[in-house]
Amino acid sequence: MPQPQATDTAVPATLIGSEQPLCVAYDVALLDLDGVCFAGQARVPHAADNVNAARQAGMHLSFVTNNASRAPQTVVDKLADNDITAEASEVFSAAMDAAAMLTEHVEPGSMVLVVGGDGVRQALLDEGFQVTSSAQDEPVAVVQGWDPAVDWALLSEGVYAINAGALHVATNLDATLPTERGFALGNGSLVAAVVHASGKEPLAGGKPFPGIYTRALKRAGGTRPLAVGDRLNTDHVGARAAGIPGLHVLTGVSDARDVICAPATERPSFLHTDLRGLTAPHPEPVRVELDGQVWWRVGSRSARVLGSGLELQDAGAVSCPDGSAVRIDLDSYRALAVAAWDWADAQVRRGEAAELEVPEIEVIEP
């Protein structure tokens, strides 16, 4: 399947600092939904207070999501249930991204087969397309997005149409979908079934491709964007490819260990436990040499790589022999990430493939 293309950007592949709260330093937040603003049917602590505070500070908001099943007003209602204020015009979904992308490939008003739900249908209708659920209507394209109603019959209609020459467009390629019970089949897994049956690769929208961020930003109207997400391999790959700084939060999929071990293409520019990071300043990492050793200091915490492990100044080696998580504070987490990334980049430059030994890490809330 298509993969996001690496691009040269002005965003360094490491943490940066901001003396101002991020909601002041940046004029628009491109916010992910699941795992950031809410978690399935559960609330995310500190999400509502800080999203609403960012708006009150003058920051524009765009809710950018790979979930193609919800129409914009449904997203607004879901956010309202979580006490987050939003308008339908501020929602930009992978379904909307796919519909916008489709306008670049087929004639206006064309017939499109929907393998998905209301979110995909509404996005296509808003772009002026006709929609159908039958390959017998000779659609020129098939747009596929996740929805719980997608079944064998609808997937097969998509295959019939693609084999007859229709263009296949996927709203996103997420292999999994987080639920309260764990990870379920995502749109990418269902797309893979259609690809296997048709033998044809789709055009793909959504994250981690940069287009969803650039299209959302164009609608939001900002000039200093900040992407906010919990998934490194979608939210932050897409943001970095689009040249947009990213704030990572620990309320969703990717945990602190994932962040510390992240390759350059997945690294956020800012780290926090949750959306309080949106309304707070962020200390700038500083490289410090002490007795001939390189340390990275963030705030009052310093970290380095020693041998194949990590070390915190005044706390010693970051390890836990019994396999439980090491508990650290926020600035220690940031310092460990910068030290690990700097070490990993040096390994790449030397052509070496050694890996750090990083335990599970729990970041204590500030």
- Annotated catalytic residues are 32, 34
C-beta atoms surrounding 266 within 10 Å: 23
C-beta atoms surrounding 289 within 10 Å: 8
- How far apart are the C-alpha atoms of 144 and 325, rounded to whole Å? 40
The angle subtended at Cα 43 by Cα 222 and Cα 76, nearest 5°, is 45
- How far apart are the C-alpha atoms of 330 and 68, rounded to whole Å? 34
Two structure tokens written together for 91: 């929602």
Residues 6+ apart with CB under 8 A from 259: 232, 248, 267, 268, 271, 333, 337
The phi and psi torsions of 83 (rounded to 5 degrees) equal 65, 25
The phi and psi torsions of 32 (rounded to 5 degrees) equal -70, 165
Two structure tokens written together for 330: 């926020």
